[in-house]
Amino acid sequence: MRKTWLIFSQAVTVAVAVLFVIATLKPQWLQRAQNSRLLPDAVSVAPVMPVVGGGVAPSGYSAAARTAAPAVVSIAASKAMSRHPHGEDPWFRFFFGDRNQQQLQPQVGLGSGVIVSADGYLLTNNHVIEGAADIEVQLADGRQARAKLVGTDPETDVAVLKIALDKLPVVRVGNVQQLQVGDVVLAIGNPFNVGQTVTSGIVSALGRNQLGINTFENFIQTDAAINPGNSGGALVDVNGNLVGINTAIFSRTGGSLGIGFAIPADIAHQVMDGLIREGRVTRGWIGVEPRDLTPEFAENFKLPVRQGVLITGVLQDGPASKGGMRPGDVVVKIGEQPVNNTAQLLNAVAALKPKSDAVIGVQRGDKALELKVRVAQRPAPQPAKRDEP
């Protein structure tokens, strides 16, 4: 037994010595042997995807891009500049020439759009085509067409166009309600007019509001790169389904800083349906000026509620005024729906049907009241300036 152990110890010692010599003088021999052992395992864990017809394809989002990109278009909206107000004055013409009589070159705004119907209906942003005299659409396959403006909704920044072309590619509308923070999304559009571009990111937040961009805000926030020219383009999920219409970015430089916003596709689709059917979006209105209830106000006036919307002004002879609402009231619910901030109040009132009666719960001092208000049609908004994109 002792002899066997001695032989084993000597063999191990010799083997270690040989390994040390090889590692010192010929280390490449060991590296080559190690690579030959690791190669099969490395290949086996590499991500591959089978494709029809044999072979493999790399993983990624190319399938989603191929599905959605054909339905994303580039939009050129031109607005002719007006003639000079003194262009017909002989003295003006004498000093400045006849060229001032002629109409100046049109201004051209660039953006993107998404084909959502085989009939030729497109979704884009209102600020892309606002004030345009001529709208040209170019498809990803190179075809071009003049677009007809179906209608706009400045309060959500949605516009609907229509083009007359055959065999149009159409994007599928996804289920926005299933979208979650962290989901991968792709932004497709024509930034800076460089051509159709696909960028990727994740859903950074949902339900963003009170940003001062639109009247009605319920944005999807994403870090997918969105730049000027992407406005009106598509935000799609990993299956190529439309989940949003890219509309705005937060930027100090004019370019993407990783904070972009998209209008949820279901809201854009609802607006489109209203514009196609009636030429406008029907929303409720009660004629009040709201602001968020602050803890300081609630404490100073000894209110028994801490959440709600403070009414700072009531339009004379408006629906709320006729229903008995007063400045200083705190709206706590619309029907059975609680309201905790101004955005919720606007959305809840907008969802009411004009010419219907709504029961609005308010807190007036230490009294809880229920007011019956006859809802009116929300007036058309006044045009306002807006920053790109």
Domain with residue 272: its CATH number is 2.40.10.10
Looking at the structure, tell me whether residues 298 and 238 fall in a common domain.
no
Q: Using CB atoms within 10 Å of the CB of residue 260, give its burial: 0 to 12 exposed, 13 to 18 middle, 19+ buried.
A: buried
What CA–CA distance (Å, rounded) separates 274 from 245?
17
Residue 94: CB atoms within 10 A of its CB come to: 8
Domain end (from 162, 192, 225): 162
Residue 45 lies in a domain: no
Which CATH number does the domain housing residue 322 bear? 2.30.42.10
Q: Which of 157, 223, 237, 329 is catalytic?
A: 157
pTM for the model stands at: 0.72
Enumerate long-range contacts of 348-351, CB under 8 Å, 24 or more apart: 349/283, 349/284, 349/285, 349/286, 349/375, 350/216, 350/283, 350/284, 350/285, 350/378, 351/283, 351/284
Residue 49 lies in a domain: no
Q: Which of 74, 112, 127, 204 is catalytic?
A: 127
Looking at the structure, tell me whether residues 140 and 182 fall in a common domain.
no
Both tokens of residue 304? 């028994």
Looking at the structure, tell me whether residues 340 and 312 fall in a common domain.
yes
- DSSP assignments along 169-188, one per residue: --PPB--GGG--TT-EEEEE
Looking at the structure, tell me whether residues 76 and 157 fall in a common domain.
yes
Structural contact between residues 265 and 242, judged by C-beta atoms closer than 8 angstroms? yes
What CA–CA distance (Å, rounded) separates 313 from 209?
22
Residues forming a β-bridge with 333: 338, 361
Return the residue matching tokens 């049609």. Answer: 377
Residue 208 lies in a domain: yes
**Annotation marks residue 231 as catalytic:** yes
Structural contact between residues 118 and 162, judged by C-beta atoms closer than 8 angstroms? no
Domain end (from 112, 134, 162): 162
Residue 6 lies in a domain: no
Cα dist from 44 to 17, 55, 234, whole Å: 35, 15, 36
Whether omega before 354 lies within 30 degrees of 0, making that bond cis, reads no
Looking at the structure, tell me whether residues 300 and 225 fall in a common domain.
no
Where in the sequence is the domain holding 345, given as residue range(s)?
284-377
Q: Which of 74, 112, 231, 256 is catalytic?
A: 231
Looking at the structure, tell me whether residues 135 and 215 fall in a common domain.
no
Looking at the structure, tell me whether residues 143 and 224 fall in a common domain.
no
SS3 of 4, please? helix
Buried/exposed code over 106-127 (b: 16+ C-beta within 10 A; e: otherwise):
eeebbbbbbbbeeebbbbbbbb
**Annotation marks residue 387 as catalytic:** no
Among 310, 338, 303, CA closest to 325: 310
Residue 43: CB atoms within 10 A of its CB come to: 9
Looking at the structure, tell me whether residues 319 and 345 fall in a common domain.
yes
Q: pLDDT truncated to tens, each residue of the chain (389 aa)?
A: 566 666 666 666 766 666 666 666 555 555 554 444 433 333 333 333 444 444 444 558 999 999 999 999 999 998 766 555 555 566 555 445 554 444 455 667 789 999 999 999 999 999 999 988 899 999 999 999 999 999 999 999 999 999 999 999 999 999 999 999 999 999 999 999 899 999 999 999 998 887 888 888 899 999 999 999 999 999 999 999 999 999 998 877 777 788 999 999 999 999 999 999 988 888 999 999 999 888 888 888 888 888 899 999 999 999 999 999 999 999 999 998 999 889 889 989 998 999 999 999 999 988 999 999 999 999 877 654 443 33
Looking at the structure, tell me whether residues 274 and 181 fall in a common domain.
yes
Among 289, 337, 336, 342, CA closest to 314: 289
**Annotation marks residue 84 as catalytic:** no
Looking at the structure, tell me whether residues 299 and 266 fall in a common domain.
no
Q: Checking DSSP bridges between strand 284-285 and strand 376-377, what pairing results, if any?
A: antiparallel
| DSSP-derived secondary structure letter, 142 | S
Domain end (from 94, 128, 162): 162
